[in-house]
Amino acid sequence: MQKKRFSSYIKLLFISIDLVFILSFLYFIQNSKTATVEKGQVLFLISSAVLWLLLNGYTKLYTVPRTLSYTRHLENIIVHSSLFLFGIYILDKLSINLDFRINTFRLIIYFLIMIVVLKTITYSLLKYYRLLGKNYRNIMFLYEDESSELLKETLLQRKDYGYKIFSYSGRAEDIFALVEFWKAKGIDTMFIPSHKDMDNRLSIEVFEKAEENRVTINLIPEILRQDFFKYNISYYENFPVLVPVNYPLDIYSNKFIKRVLDILFSLFFLIFIGLWLFPVIAVLIKIFAKTPVLFTQKRYGYEGKIFECYKFCTMRNDNSLLPEERVTNLGKFLRKTSLDELPQFVNVLRGDMSIVGPRPHMLSVDDFYSRQIRRYKIRNMVRPGLTGLAQVRGLRGDFGDMNIRMKQRLLADIFYVKNWSLGMDFIIVLKTVFLFLKGDENAR
């Protein structure tokens, strides 16, 4: 129903920009010393462009949903580019007319860096364009419950998704008023809780009218109460069946690789950075804060096992003061920069934690929310992490509506558990480093 906001033109523009860059890059590395272009090279460039476009059918690089995270997008870029470079390598070997004037390793590094930078710029520009209120979609919620409120809060916070929410105060039974509302507001998508009991006749009529008026209906599962995350859809020929989900880190090889990388990464940090940084922070704590250097606190870990979590001490041991008054000046700096968390590399080396995973909370916090939110303990199905998906998405800190924020944090943790990959870990680490250098406004 809603007038399209030139999304297809934006997609075509991005494809054109990529092709111009790729063909220019390949042309340059073949003709760095001469301006002449041979017939075989022209055929090679055309074949390269076709290969880049055909790979989209597999990687979906140009299928960019509004809710696609940069983490996922970057994974798609790397996979697409790697397959493309492999195809270019094959074309190079099959052709006798081509002569790359650059070694293969440098070609791969240059190309990956440049294409990642280019795609990051175009991705960021599109997000910024939507933040300006352009290229948006008009949506509404027909009924509201806990899950729809959580989704609405997320969409209100993420203005870069490009959704404009309209409130409907009428009744679903008044089909005429509902259709008029769609037309007046240009509604593109309507969200309905999947578990909402609707009269069968009314349900059929709503869906038929939505189809007539080109309004997409999205169903919201009751994710925090049902066993939504415990099942995937499998097919017996054409018949769908819900089967228990196999999480990526249930596979031994994945678990082994992640553990080996945790050991190597933590050893590298502790030897080359920790050996000089930890004594510096310890001396500063003793001189300016006059508190113990380390602070340990019990946290729930993998499969709910309790472990001692290490941190640099940031608070005075004076229970007569309010919690915020107990934090030392040096402690505020350590918390703001997350330097107080660095001793947890020892926890990683010991196997209590991982580099990336759901952040461990205090026992009292976990005990409270595990009673309030069903499926809360799914986050204990992997080792807790030094950093996590929720943290790089800005869901850290104890401020705002904690009931909503904790549910959003849990959804991010569950998404990580269900969709783990080495690529996701890599991107989360990169984004954590970026937040550290830039300064995380949610760190407190």
Q: Evaluate whether 119 touches 77 at the Cβ level (below 8 Å).
A: yes
pLDDT in tens, 294-329: 989 999 999 889 999 999 998 887 766 676 777 888
Residue 3 has pLDDT above 70, yes or no: no
Cα(first)–Cα(last) distance of the chain, in Å?
45
Distance CA 29, CA 21 (A): 12
Q: Which ranges of 339-398 would DSSP assign to H, the alpha helix?
A: 344-350, 363-372, 389-392
pLDDT confidence of 64, banded at 50, 70, 90? confident
**Average pLDDT rounded to a whole number, residues 47-54:** 90
pLDDT in tens, 230-288: 777 777 777 778 787 788 998 899 999 999 999 999 999 999 999 999 999 999 999 98
Torsion of Cα atoms, 40 then 46 then 52 then 56, to 10°: -140
Angle, nearest 10°, between helix axes 104-131 and 7-30?
A: 160
Q: What is the CATH superfamily name and number for domain 137-222? A: Response regulator (3.40.50.2300)
Q: Residue 338: which pLDDT band, with cuts at 50, 70 and 90?
A: confident
Longest dimension (CA), the chain: 83
Q: What tens digit of pLDDT does each residue of 126-145 get?
A: 888 888 888 889 999 988 77
In 98-215, which ranges are E strands? 137-141, 163-166, 189-193
pLDDT number for residue 275: 95
Q: In the prediction, which pLDDT does 401 show?
A: 65
Residue 145 backbone dihedrals phi, psi, to 5 degrees: -145, -165
pLDDT tens digit sequence for 348-406: 999 999 999 999 998 998 888 888 887 788 888 899 999 999 888 887 766 556 777 88
Mean of pLDDT values over 139-163: 86
Whether the CA torsion 126, 132, 136, 141 is positive or negative: it is positive
Give the best-scoring range by mean pLDDT among 40-49, 154-163, 313-322: 154-163
Per-residue pLDDT band for 415 (boundaries 50, 70, 90) equals: confident
Q: Which one has a higher pLDDT value, 323 or 419? A: 419
Nearest to 215 by CA among 189, 191, 194: 189
Q: Flag whether pLDDT at 30 surpasses 70.
A: no
Three-state secondary structure of 398-424: CCCCHHHHHHHHHHHHHHHHHHCCHHH
* Portion of the chain with pLDDT greater than 90, in percent: 29
Question: Cα(62)–Cα(170) distance, rounded to whole angstroms?
Answer: 38
Which has the minimum average pLDDT: 72-81, 329-338, 371-380, 424-433?
Answer: 371-380
Least confident stretch, 69-73, 96-100, 232-236, 251-255: 96-100
pLDDT digits over 197-233, tens only?
A: 777 888 888 889 989 989 999 988 876 665 666 777 7
Residues 6+ apart with CB under 8 A from 265: 348, 355
- pLDDT (0 to 100) of residue 11: 84
Banded pLDDT at 38 (limits 50, 70, 90)? low
pTM of the model: 0.73
Q: Which amino acid is present at 218? A: N
* Alpha carbons 119 and 142: distance in angstroms, whole number: 37
Contacting residues for 51 by C-beta, under 8 A, at least 6 apart: 84, 87, 88, 91
Range picked from 93-97, 305-309, 420-424 for highest mean pLDDT: 305-309
State phi, psi for 320 to the nearest 5 degrees: -80, -15
**pLDDT of residue 147 exceeding 90:** no
Residues 6+ apart with CB under 8 A from 317: 291, 292
Please say if the pLDDT value at position 115 is more than 80.
yes
Domain ranges, ordered by start, for the chain: 7-131, 137-222, 250-438
Token pair in block for residue 406: 């904790």
pLDDT at 161 over 80: yes
Mean pLDDT score of the chain, rounded to an integer?
Answer: 84
Question: Given this model, what pLDDT does residue 393 score?
Answer: 84
The pLDDT assigned to 182 comes to 92
